[in-house]
């Protein structure tokens, strides 16, 4: 495995900005630095980063860092050894088409976006490179152009082997992440963690978006709570058919997670749905559940009902 010398963070929103800032800050502080970090961003956010660098505000400290280069497209970026894909699900295909000419057989692709079908979607476009299935545990957002705020989470990346290239070694990024201070967890099989996170964000996201209620409000409402449990049950059935090993009490655990959030919390999908015309991740949640249910012969009536009501809002 080649050493990581060139990093491309494709998408510098909340997640990409968080990890991009931490990487740039750590590498800029390293004597005889020989690893470069490139950002792909857009709009006013890009302009501020190009002029002033990126600012990351965490509960512990504020980081100001400059990437080697921030650009709107891949043309000025050397062929990267590591690509962090940090776009939203609805922008994934465009991002993959942009990086595809630059992905070599030993390029590491780390997708840090929600969804249980991300690996398959990537492999439908990228026939080469090493794709490490992953999920991320951090709450971040763009506070203003050039400034990222962390609102929660431990900033951890969980990733595993490329299912199609297991002979390439267990943990190709562990040593590098340790050296630059990135919080990570390696899982030989990352898919249970990916599905567990999806169960929580999809069920709560769909029901809050459909009802307009906050996380606390849906937990107080028996009908809404039953819908969340129903969607989680459908996801669990799909995962079981796909031989994803989830804990037996996964639904109860996922329901309980909602109680850890402030009563007034709105999900990100809910906030997007509340703004007419704004892109949202409905297909990543409802669409993915319905498609996989049809393919596997798993009934998904609760998801179908809730998702159709959300779509009819538009």
Is residue 232 within 8 Å of residue 258, measured between CB atoms? no
State whether 213 and 256 are in the same domain.
yes
State whether 39 and 163 are in the same domain.
yes
State whether 38 and 148 are in the same domain.
yes
State whether 239 and 132 are in the same domain.
no
pLDDT at 151: 85
State whether 96 and 183 are in the same domain.
yes
Under the banding of pLDDT at 50, 70 and 90, the label for residue 301 is very high
Position 167 pLDDT exceeds 80: no
Over residues 267-275, mean pLDDT: 92
40-53 tens-digit pLDDT:
999 999 999 999 99
Q: Measured between alpha carbons, how far is 55 from 66 in angstroms, rounded to an integer?
A: 9
Residue-number span of the structural domain to which 16 is assigned: 6-189
Q: Measured between alpha carbons, how far is 176 from 78 in angstroms, rounded to an integer?
A: 19
Q: Answer whether residue 1 is part of any domain.
A: no
State whether 154 and 264 are in the same domain.
no
Q: Measured between alpha carbons, how far is 289 from 262 in angstroms, rounded to an integer?
A: 27
Is residue 98 within 8 Å of residue 69, measured between CB atoms? no
Under the banding of pLDDT at 50, 70 and 90, the label for residue 261 is confident
State whether 165 and 197 are in the same domain.
no
For residue 130, give the 3-state DSSP assignment: strand
145-166 tens-digit pLDDT:
999 999 888 999 999 999 988 6
127-149 tens-digit pLDDT:
999 999 999 999 899 999 999 99
- What's the structural domain count of the chain? 2
State whether 127 and 36 are in the same domain.
yes
Q: At which of 162, 189, 216 does a domain end?
A: 189
State whether 196 and 180 are in the same domain.
no
DSSP letter at 167 equals G
Q: At which of 189, 220, 255 does a domain end?
A: 189
Domain with 216 in it: what CATH number? 1.10.1040.10
Proportion of the chain in helix, strand, coil states, percent, rounded to 5: 45, 20, 35
State whether 36 and 180 are in the same domain.
yes
Over residues 61-72, mean pLDDT: 96
Q: Which two tokens stand for residue 262?
A: 């402030």
pLDDT at 168: 61
Over residues 282-299, mean pLDDT: 97
Over residues 169-180, mean pLDDT: 82
pTM, whole model, 2 decimals? 0.93
pLDDT at 210: 97
Q: Are strands 6-10 and 62-65 parallel, antiparallel or unpaired?
A: unpaired
Q: What percent of the chain has pLDDT over 70?
A: 96
State whether 173 and 263 are in the same domain.
no
Q: At which of 165, 189, 213 does a domain end?
A: 189
Over residues 99-126, mean pLDDT: 96
State whether 128 and 226 are in the same domain.
no
């Amino acid at each position: 495995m080649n050493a990581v010398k060139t990093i491309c963070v494709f998408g510098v929103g909340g997640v990409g900005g968080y990890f991009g800032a931490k990487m740039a800050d750590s590498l800029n502080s390293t004597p005889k630095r020989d690893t470069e970090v490139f950002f792909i961003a857009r709009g006013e956010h890009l302009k501020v980063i190009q002029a002033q660098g990126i600012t990351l505000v965490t509960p512990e400290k504020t980081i100001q860092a400059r990437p080697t280069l921030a650009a709107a497209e891949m043309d000025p970026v050397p062929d990267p050894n590591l690509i962090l894909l940090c776009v939203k699900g609805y922008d994934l295909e465009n991002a993959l088409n942009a990086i595809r000419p630059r992905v070599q057989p030993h390029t590491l692709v780390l997708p840090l976006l929600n969804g249980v079908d991300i690996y398959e979607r990537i492999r439908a476009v990228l026939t080469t490179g090493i794709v490490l299935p992953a999920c991320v545990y951090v709450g971040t957002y763009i506070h203003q152009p050039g400034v990222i705020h962390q609102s929660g989470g431990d900033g951890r990346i969980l990733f595993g082997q490329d299912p199609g290239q297991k002979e390439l070694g267990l943990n190709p990024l562990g040593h590098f992440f340790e050296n630059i201070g990135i919080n990570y967890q390696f899982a030989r099989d990352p898919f249970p963690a990916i599905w567990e996170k999806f169960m929580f964000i999809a069920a709560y996201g769909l029901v809050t978006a459909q009802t307009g209620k906050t996380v606390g409000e849906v937990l107080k409402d028996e009908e809404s709570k039953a819908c969340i449990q129903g969607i989680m049950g459908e996801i669990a059935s799909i995962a079981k058919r796909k031989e994803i090993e989830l804990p037996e009490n996964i639904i109860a655990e996922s329901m309980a997670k909602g109680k850890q959030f402030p009563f007034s919390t709105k999900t990100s999908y809910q906030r997007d749905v509340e703004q007419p015309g704004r892109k949202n991740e409905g297909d990543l949640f409802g669409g993915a559940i319905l498609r996989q249910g049809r393919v596997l012969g798993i009934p998904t009536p609760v998801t179908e009902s809730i998702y159709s009501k959300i779509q009819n809002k538009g």
